[in-house]
Amino acid sequence: MNLKEYFKKNKTTIVDLIDKAGNVKALPRPYLGMSQLGEECWRKLWYSFRWCEYSTYDGRVQRIFDVGHKAEVDMVKDLEKIGVKTWDTLDNQKSFIAVSGHCKGHGDGVGSNIPGAEKTNHLLEFKTSSSKHFKEMEKKGVKESKPVHYAQMVLYMKFSKLTRALYMMYNKDTSAYYIERIKSNNNFADELIKKAEDIITCEDVNVFQKIGSGNPSFYKCKFCDYSDICHNDSSPVKTCRTCVSGNLLDGGIWGCGIQKDKHLNLLKQKEACSNYQKLECFNV
């Protein structure tokens, strides 16, 4: 078999092997992310915060994450090339905390000497996109095109006490940039924080309505990690967060009611114990 025939026969196999080697199966982040709060589906956010299902992705998705990180480095450099001063970027990002430490966010940075608005410090937000979504962004702007990104910036501006944000999107297909300046909106930010509090402190997901048609055929539900739990009544992952004895404590900490609210580290939360009893909402 010559080299051409070999690759024709094995090229798919090689790609599959690479992607499978990068497979990741993990529970969601241990807090409700501020970057998530613009999400339309409250149930999805609740399931995520409660660790109801594993997230799985392969090497291809990991490469997408890596491209985003590399693009962020380049975007900071490109801003600095035109005289923008940046800080709290990349590995030095600031954290923002709400709802007793159970809701957190991390800003992409702050910039000053923005052309046309040199006297105003701006929150920096960096994103990457395909040409399809990039064109939509150019047409509609961030608030309409990417409401989750808009909500994220509004929250970060409130916590950093900034009045403006610079949104910068990189087109992965053409290397073009989209730039938009965003005004702060503290009233909306307060609504989002209240939303986070309602989700975090709730023990019954059925308080929140299903989005769209309310059935699994709705396009936003088809590929959701939580579709089976939400629509087919499948059981959640067995963790302390889906147990009736799991309690929220200050400082982003979880405790066990059976053990007089003994603090549970992340490993203990993932393991649960022999006294596990799933929340009542999963028995409906």
List the domain range (segments joined by +) for residue 248: 238-284
| Residues facing residue 264 across a β-bridge | 254
Contact 192, 155 (CB under 8 A): yes
- pLDDT, residue 7, reads 65
Q: Which two tokens stand for residue 54?
A: 């594993």
Same domain, 56 and 139: yes
- pLDDT, residue 6, reads 66
Give the number of other Cβ atoms within 10 Å of residue 157's Cβ. Answer: 23
- pLDDT, residue 61, reads 87
Whole-model pTM: value is 0.92
Q: Which two tokens stand for residue 277?
A: 């009893």
Q: Is residue 9 part of a domain?
A: no
Same domain, 254 and 139: no
pLDDT tens-place string over residues 116-164: 999 999 999 999 999 999 999 999 999 999 999 999 999 999 999 999 9
Same domain, 215 and 248: no
Q: CA-CA distance, 161 to 121, in Å (whole number)?
A: 10
Could you give the residue ranges of the DSSP H alpha helices within the chain? Answer: 3-21, 42-49, 59-81, 131-140, 142-145, 147-160, 186-201, 227-232, 266-271
- Among 45, 247, 281, 202, CA closest to 269: 247
Which positions of the chain have pLDDT values less than 50? none
The number of residues making up the chain comes to 284
Same domain, 117 and 173: yes
Q: Is residue 4 part of a domain?
A: no
SS3 96: strand
Choosing from 234, 257, 274, the residue where a domain stops is 234
The residues, ordered by sequence, that sit 6+ positions from 153 with a Cβ below 8 Å of its Cβ are 123, 125, 142, 165, 167, 182
- pLDDT, residue 24, reads 85
Cβ neighbourhood burial of 68 (10 Å; 0-12, 13-18, 19+): middle
Q: Is residue 2 part of a domain?
A: no
Q: Is residue 8 part of a domain?
A: no
The domain total for the chain is 2
Contact 152, 37 (CB under 8 A): yes
| Residues facing residue 55 across a β-bridge | 26
Same domain, 221 and 244: no
Q: Is residue 12 part of a domain?
A: no
Q: CA-CA distance, 49 to 27, in Å (whole number)?
A: 10
